C-alpha cells in the first residue's frame, strides 16, 4: 500500500506531460558485478507452526538470465528461545534450540524445497513443532558456506481483535458485490505497538507461505493513536460471500521497520525515486533480510 499521496506524483506528472509523449527504449547498462548477499526470510509465530520457517537464498547479478531465486542449501539453521533480563541482556535456553532442515514437507512441492528450512517435527509430530511463545525472544543462527549469521526477534503481547465488520465497496454489471473489511480493536495505552495485517481468502487457500497471502500495513504510527479504540478499514476488496482468516500480527520495532522498508523498496520507481535499502535485522557480513516474530491474533469471518 502506498503511504504517501506524493507517491502519485509520477501519475500527476505524466498526466500533465501527455502532450509531450514520453517514450522509452531499451538501454544497455554496464553494471559492475554484484557482491552476492545471503538473503534470509525467517518467521516465528505463536499460532501456525507450518508458517515458522526459514528461507535462504542468494542475490544475483541484476542482469543474470536466471529469473528465479537462487536457494542456499545445506546450511545449518537453528532457532533458540530466550528471555530478556532487566538489564536488556538476552538469556538463551540452549535446551530449546531447534535445528531446522530442508525436508520433504508435503505442503511444499518438491521443486521448491531446496533452501527452505523447517522444524523436522512439522512432518513427524506437528503438534510438537516449533511455535513461538508470547513474551519470549528468539535467536536465529545460520551457518552457510563457512559464514555465520544471526538475528534476534521477539513476540510482543498480541492485541486481540474485537470484531471485524464489512462495508460496501463496489458492485459490477453482473451484480457481484465486493466489500471492505474493518478491524475493530483497542490499542493498548502503551507506546510502540505495531501491527501488520494478513488474511487468507478462499482464493488463497491453494497457496503456502507468508508471501502467498495478502498483507497490509498502515501508515499511521502508534503515537498518533495511542490508547484509542481503533477502526481500520483496509482498501482491499473482498468477494461476497467468502471465508476470511484474518491475522493481526503484533511485531516489534525492528520487524515493523523492515517491512516498512520492504514496502518502500517494492514501490520504488520512476524518475524521482531514490534507492531504498532494506532495514535488515540480520547480523553478519553480506547478509540481508528479516527474522520476523509475529504475535498473531486470528479471526475467521464470512463476508456478506
Partner 1 sequence: MHRICNVFLKNNKRALCGTAALFFVCCLSNFGILYAQPANVSVQVTGPGNEKIANATISINEQRQKADDNGFVQILLEQGNYSIQISAVNYFSYNFSVKINADTILFAELKPRESFLGNVTVTSSRNVSGNQMSTQSLSMEQIRKLPVILGEIDPLKTITLLPGIKNGGEGGSGLYVRGGGPDQNLVLLDGIPVYNPNHLFGFFSIFNGEAIDKIEVIKGGMPANFGGRLSSVINVSSRNGNRDSLKGSGGIGLISSRFSLEGPIIKGKSSFMLSARRTYIDQVARVVAKSEIGNNGYFFYDINAKADYNINDNNQLLFTFYTGDDNFKFSNTDNGRNTNFNTLWGNTLAGLFWKQKISNRLQQETGLIYNKFALTNRSTFSAFSFAFASGLEDLQVKTDWQFASNKWLKLKWGLQYIKHQFAPGAGDVTAGVQQFISDIKNQYAHEAAGYITTDIKVTPKLEMTAGMRYSYFNQVGPTSRIIYGADGEPTGETESFKRGESIAAYHYPEPRVSFLYKLPAQASIKASYTRTTQFLHLATTSGATFPSDLWVPSGEKIKPAIAEQVALGYFKNLDGNQYELSAEAYYKTMSNQIEFRPGAQLLLNQNIEGEMIFGSGVAYGIELFAQKKTGRFTGWIGYTLSRTERTFDELNNGKPFTYRYDRTHDLSIVGNYRLNKKWDMAAVFVYGTGNALTLPKGRFGFNLGLDLAENRPIFTNINQYDAINDYRMPAYHRLDIAFTYTPKPNSSKRYKSSWNFGIYNVYNRRNPFFIYVDVDRDAQTVEGRKVYLFPIIPSVTWNFKF
Span from 54-62, 89-97, 133-141, 142-150 in contact with partner 1 (CB under 8 A): 54-62
| Torsion over CA: 241, 216, 78, 98 (sign) | negative
The helix or strand, by DSSP H or E, that contains position 18, with its residue range, turns out to be none
149-187 burial by CB neighbour count: b if 16+ within 10 A, else e? Answer: bbbbbbbbebbebeebebeebeeeeeeebbbbbebebee
- As measured in angstroms, the least distance from the Cβ of 222 to partner 1 is 8
Among residues 220, 300, 302, 304, which is the contact residue for partner 1, using CB under 8 A?
220
- As measured in angstroms, the least distance from the Cβ of 111 to partner 1 is 7
Residues 6 or more apart in contact with residue 156 via CB below 8 angstroms: 134, 135, 193, 250, 251, 252, 293, 295
Span from 9-17, 80-88, 152-160, 294-302 in contact with partner 1 (CB under 8 A): 9-17
User: Is there binding between residue 210 and partner 1 (CB under 8 A)?
Assistant: yes
Q: Which is nearer to partner 1, 76 or 171 (CB)?
A: 171
- As measured in angstroms, the least distance from the Cβ of 95 to partner 1 is 31
- As measured in angstroms, the least distance from the Cβ of 277 to partner 1 is 5
Q: Which is nearer to partner 1, 86 or 269 (CB)?
A: 269
Applying the rule CB under 8 A, the residues between 93 and 132 that interact with partner 1 are 108-109, 111-112
User: Is there binding between residue 85 and partner 1 (CB under 8 A)?
Assistant: no
Please report, for residues 33, 122, 216, 241, 242, the alpha-carbon distance to residue 84 in angstroms, rounded to integers and kept in the order given.
42, 28, 30, 45, 42
How many residues sit in the footprint of partner 1 (CB under 8 A)?
A: 108
Measured distance CA(241)–CA(247) in Å, rounded: 19
* Cell numbers linked to 15: 498526466
Span from 85-93, 126-134, 218-226, 242-250 in contact with partner 1 (CB under 8 A): 218-226
Q: Which is nearer to partner 1, 60 or 101 (CB)?
A: 60
DSSP, collapsed to helix, strand or coil, labels residue 104 as coil
Residue 304: closest CA among 127, 206, 168, 170: 168
User: Is there binding between residue 90 and partner 1 (CB under 8 A)?
Assistant: no
Among residues 44, 213, 244, 251, which is the contact residue for partner 1, using CB under 8 A?
213
Applying the rule CB under 8 A, the residues between 226 and 285 that interact with partner 1 are 230-235, 237, 253, 260-262, 264-266, 268-279
Check if the beta carbon of residue 131 is closer than 8 Å to that of residue 155.
no
Amino acid at each position: 500500500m502506498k503511504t504517501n499521496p506524493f507517491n502519485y506524483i509520477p501519475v500527476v506528472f505524466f498526466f500533465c506531460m501527455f502532450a509531450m509523449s514520453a517514450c522509452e527504449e531499451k538501454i544497455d547498462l554496464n553494471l559492475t558485478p554484484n557482491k552476492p548477499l545471503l538473503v534470509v526470510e525467517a518467521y516465528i509465530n505463536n499460532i501456525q507452526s507450518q508458517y515458522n520457517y526459514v528461507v535462504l537464498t542468494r542475490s544475483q547479478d541484476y542482469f543474470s538470465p536466471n529469473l528465479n531465486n537462487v536457494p542456499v542449501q545445506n546450511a545449518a539453521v537453528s532457532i533458540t528461545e530466550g528471555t530478556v533480563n532487566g538489564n536488556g541482556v538476552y538469556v538463551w535456553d540452549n535446551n530449546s534450540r531447534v535445528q531446522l532442515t530442508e525436508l520433504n514437507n508435503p505442503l511444499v512441492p518438491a521443486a521448491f524445497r531446496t533452501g527452505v528450512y523447517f522444524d523436522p517435527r512439522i512432518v513427524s509430530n506437528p503438534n510438537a513443532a516449533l511455535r513461538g511463545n508470547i513474551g519470549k525472544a528468539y535467536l536465529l543462527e545460520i551457518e552457510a558456506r563457512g559464514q555465520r549469521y544471526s538475528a534476534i526477534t521477539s513476540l510482543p503481547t498480541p492485541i486481540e481483535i474485537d470484531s471485524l465488520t464489512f462495508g460496501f465497496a463496489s458492485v459490477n454489471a453482473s451484480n457481484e458485490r465486493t466489500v471492505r473489511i474493518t478491524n475493530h480493536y483497542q490499542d493498548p495505552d502503551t507506546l510502540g505497538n505495531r501491527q501488520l495485517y494478513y488474511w487468507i481468502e478462499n482464493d488463497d487457500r491453494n497457496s503456502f507461505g507468508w508471501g502467498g497471502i495478502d498483507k497490509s500495513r498502515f501508515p499511521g504510527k502508534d503515537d498518533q493513536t495511542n490508547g484509542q479504540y481503533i477502526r481500520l478499514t483496509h482498501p482491499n476488496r473482498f468477494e461476497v460471500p467468502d471465508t476470511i482468516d484474518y491475522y493481526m500480527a503484533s511485531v516489534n520495532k525492528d520487524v515493523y521497520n523492515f517491512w516498512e522498508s520492504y514496502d518502500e523498496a517494492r514501490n520504488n520507481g520512476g524518475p524521482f525515486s531514490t534507492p531504498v535499502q532494506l532495514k535488515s535485522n540480520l547480523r553478519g557480513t553480506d547478509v540481508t533480510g528479516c527474522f520476523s516474530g509475529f504475535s498473531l491474533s486470528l479471526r475467521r469471518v464470512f463476508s456478506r
